[in-house]
Amino acid sequence: MGSAVGMVCAKKNSDCTGTIVLLSVSPLQRRQGIGKFLVSHVLEWFFKEGIRSVTVATQKENTSAVGLYGNCGGIECCSSVDVHLWLGEDAFNDPENSEIPNSRPFMSESGKHHAKQVLETGMNHTHWQYGPKCEKLLEEELGAKKCLLTTSGTSALELSALAVGCVAGDEIIMPAFTFVSTAAAYVNHGAMPVFVDIRKDTQNIDETKIEAAITSRTKAVVCVHYAGVSCEMDVIMSIAKKYNIFVIEDNAHGLFGTYNGRQLGSIGDIGCLSFHYTKNFSCGEGGALVVNNANLVQKSMIAWEKGTNRYDFLSGKVSKYYWVDKGGSFVLSELCAALLYGQLNSRDNIQQSRLYAWNFYHEKLKSLEDGGKLTRPRVPPGCVHNAHIYYIRLKSVESGERLAASAKEHRIGIFTHYEPLHLSAGGQKFAKISGKCLEAVDCSKSLYRLPLWVGISHTELNKVVQIILAALDG
Ligand SMILES: Cc1ncc(COP(=O)(O)O)c(C=O)c1O
């Protein structure tokens, strides 16, 4: 009998989780793929047994072990001693025949644990403990004056309209290439969106075209950090200062991305976040208002609590709360906040896993960019992105149609993104346009988003790249 070169001990627990108790490879046999062989087999066994959550007895600091386990799906570290793995649904399915969606929400084990606690204790009060915990974490990370969790990114934008005091006749400058909520939120409060074209390289508002859109009615400029890559904030902030207008960052995409070392969402007067299930950090539906301008804190808190001073009541400053100003029902439920808290605490691992996929596409598609078939995302100097979206811009409508047809045939979620808002029925009814916005129109036809989520497997990434190469090469 030959001598053992390695061993793995695994345990299926009664709560449908798994534990890898020991992984050991003989010192003489290391770096030959034996560890990977053993781990892949044991994870495959777990997967067949219906287990999606695995604890590994290794240290978070042991980066080579964490990397090895990480090859099998998304990783989440819940403590300094254990590594908790999340097994990607498709990691062990037949890669030839399974669907590859455009995005897939990541559900952290700690989030589930917190949510269970809310359910078991019955403390599903508004803003009990997880809401304030998420807000504190975001305030500290972003350096914000105040952070308020909301029911969605859309409601955070609506809240920002109330916070800056939007009234009928106000004009709000924004890019023509964005989600409908960026515009509708201000229209709902009487203001008129003014669309400006986007930059060809980042798909962000073209900062050189903002000044021409400013009138005596301009209240604010809203900048959208598309795909988590920052707008040119220094220029935008100095224009806003010159004309005394507010800057609102629609940071639905870019949480934990940075601009010259500053967190996105923390630079303007207000930042709006989304925790929709397609975003890097999600709780199904959710969002947050990040208030950076101290003068807007009080008004934001009143509007957030249905137009009352309930916030002062909860902190014991007043004995009763009453109606003081405009407001709505914006506060996120405690159950959603519990899920979100788990995700925010796993931020490094979520980012790492997404970045792996983003970099994979970026490297593999370089030859197509060099060959003039497409352009890849550009991240300007000073910007650090958060791997929210990997997109390509194709050179012709025909090549896009070819790619879309092939992706559909292979059940791969490769999709275009926003329709230009100035051409929409709502845009024509409620908004006006500054300049021609031709780039926004072109971008709506030529930009395609590739599948990207925590735990997307190597096989899946490769399959996406092969489809693109086949559709565009030649
Ligand atoms: C740029 C932008 N702003 C706002 C929103 C709205 O966020 P939510 O879906 O959380 O309401 C989205 C949603 O995808 C978005 O992409």
Distance CA 244, CA 170 (A): 14
Cβ–Cβ < 8 Å for 185, 303? no
CA of 393 to the centre of ligand 1 (A): 21
Ligand 1 closest atom vs CA 224: 1
CA of 438 to the centre of ligand 1 (A): 23
CA of 130 to the centre of ligand 1 (A): 23
- Residue with CA closest to ligand 1 atom 16: 179
Q: 115-151: per-residue pLDDT in tens?
A: 999 999 887 777 789 999 999 999 999 999 999 999 9
Q: Is the CB of 287 under 6 A from ligand 1?
A: yes
- What mean pLDDT comes out for the span 79-95? 52
Nearest to 342 by CA among 274, 282, 276, 257: 282
Q: Is the CB of 150 under 6 A from ligand 1?
A: no
Token digits of residue 175: 């890019």
Q: Is the CB of 158 under 6 A from ligand 1?
A: no
**Domain ranges, ordered by start, for the chain:** 6-87, 110-344, 347-472
pTM for the complete prediction? 0.84
Class of domain 110-344: alpha beta
CA of 179 to the centre of ligand 1 (A): 6
CA of 253 to the centre of ligand 1 (A): 8
Q: Is the CB of 204 under 6 A from ligand 1?
A: no
Q: 382-429: per-residue pLDDT in tens?
A: 999 999 999 999 999 999 999 999 999 999 999 999 999 999 999 999
* DSSP letter, residue 182: H
pLDDT at 156: 98
Cβ–Cβ < 8 Å for 229, 205? no
Ligand 1 closest atom vs CA 287: 10
Residues 6+ positions from 14 with CB-CB distance below 8 Å: none
Whether residue 369 has pLDDT greater than 80: yes
Phi, psi of 250 (to 5 degrees): -80, 95
Whether residue 438 has pLDDT greater than 70: yes
CA of 421 to the centre of ligand 1 (A): 14
Phi, psi of 222 (to 5 degrees): -105, 125
Q: Is the CB of 174 under 6 A from ligand 1?
A: no
pLDDT at 16: 65
Distance CA 9, CA 326 (A): 61
Looking at domain 347-472, its CATH architecture is Alpha-Beta Complex (3.90)
* CATH fit for domain 6-87, picks 3.30.200.210, 1.10.3720.10, 3.40.640.10, 3.40.630.30: 3.40.630.30
